Amino acid sequence: MVDFMDYSKNLRYFKGADTHFYVGIVLLAIGVIMIVLSYFFWVYLVPYQDFAAIALVIIGACIAWIPQYRRSGEKDIDAYVSVRAEGYAKEITERFHLSSNAKAKIESVLTGSFLLDADTKGWVYRRGKNDRKYRSSLYAITALFFTEVGILAATKRISLTEDSESETIKEIRFYDIEDIKIDYEEKLVEKDKVKAYHLIIRANGETVLDVPVAPNAQLDAKCEEIRAQMIKIKA
C-alpha cells in the first residue's frame, strides 16, 4: 500500500521525457549485437570489441533505467490516488458519523478523476507510455454519502507535485434536486481530444454540484437511484 508520495519524483515523471530510455536501449542493443558477432561469428568490428560491447551494455542499461528509479511511475501514481481516495472516504465517514446512519436507502459511492484543465495554476500532465491515459498533477476525489433526506457530497482536490489540497462539502436535499447527470466536455490536450466527465446536480434553479468523475456503470446506476429517490420524496 502506498501512503506516502514523493512530490519531487512525481514532478520528474510529469516533466520528464523518455529520450534517455530509447538512447540507452539503442546502446545496449549495439553492445549485444557486438557480443553476438564476436562470440558466435568471430566478426570483429572494432579493437577490443568484447570490452567495448560489455561497456556499451552496462552504459546503455544505466542510461535507460537509472533515471526511471528517480521518478514515479504510472502505477505509483494510480496506487497513491487510490489510497488517498479510500482514506478520504473513511475520514468523511468518521467526521460526520455517517456509519451510524442505518436508514440511508442508497449506498455511498467514491469516485475521482485527474483534472485536465489548462487554466489551473501549476497544472502539468503526461500521457501514459503503456496505457496512453492522460494523468495530471491535480486529482479530485469525491465521496457521496446518502441520508434519508439527501446527499452529502465531499470533494477534495489534491496536488501530486506539492503539498497542497482543498476541500468542499455540500449538502443537497433530494426534494430540491431538479436534475442529475453525468456529462462531458472535450478538451484539447496536446493534439488529442480528451473527454472530461463531470457529475452535475442542479437544484433550485442552479448547479449545486459539478465534480470531475471517472465514468462507470456503478455511477450511472447511482444516478438512477438518486432520481428514483427524488421522485419518491416529491410524490
For 78-126, the pLDDT digits (tens) are: 999 999 999 999 999 999 988 755 456 788 999 999 998 756 667 899 9
pLDDT tens-place string over residues 153-197: 999 999 999 999 999 999 999 999 999 999 999 988 878 889 999
Answer whether residue 8 is part of any domain: no
Asked if residue 79 and residue 97 are part of one domain, the reply reads yes
Answer whether residue 30 is part of any domain: yes
Q: Is 185 exposed, middle or buried (0-12, 13-18, 19+ CB in 10 A)?
A: exposed
Asked if residue 103 and residue 60 are part of one domain, the reply reads no
pTM for this prediction: 0.84
Q: Number of structural domains, the chain?
A: 2
In whole angstroms, give the CA distance from residue 105 to residue 149. Answer: 10
Answer whether residue 7 is part of any domain: no
> Phi, psi at residue 48, to the nearest 5°?
50, 45
The helix (H) or strand (E) run that includes residue 174 is none
Strands 150-159 and 138-146: antiparallel
In whole angstroms, give the CA distance from residue 37 to residue 57. Answer: 14
Distances (CA, A) of 224 to 64, 166, 181, 220, 229: 49, 29, 9, 7, 9
Asked if residue 221 and residue 125 are part of one domain, the reply reads yes
Using DSSP, state whether 195 is helix, strand or coil.
strand
Asked if residue 25 and residue 100 are part of one domain, the reply reads no
Range of the domain at 59: 17-69
Asked if residue 230 and residue 120 are part of one domain, the reply reads yes
Asked if residue 104 and residue 61 are part of one domain, the reply reads no
pLDDT over 90 at 3, yes or no: no
- Residues whose CB is less than 8 angstroms from the CB of residue 87 and which lie 6 or more positions away in sequence, other chains included: 3
Asked if residue 126 and residue 219 are part of one domain, the reply reads yes
Asked if residue 136 and residue 21 are part of one domain, the reply reads no
Asked if residue 55 and residue 82 are part of one domain, the reply reads no
Asked if residue 118 and residue 198 are part of one domain, the reply reads yes
pLDDT at res. 4: 63
Mean pLDDT score, 127-151: 92
Asked if residue 80 and residue 59 are part of one domain, the reply reads no
Answer whether residue 5 is part of any domain: no
pLDDT over 90 at 148, yes or no: no
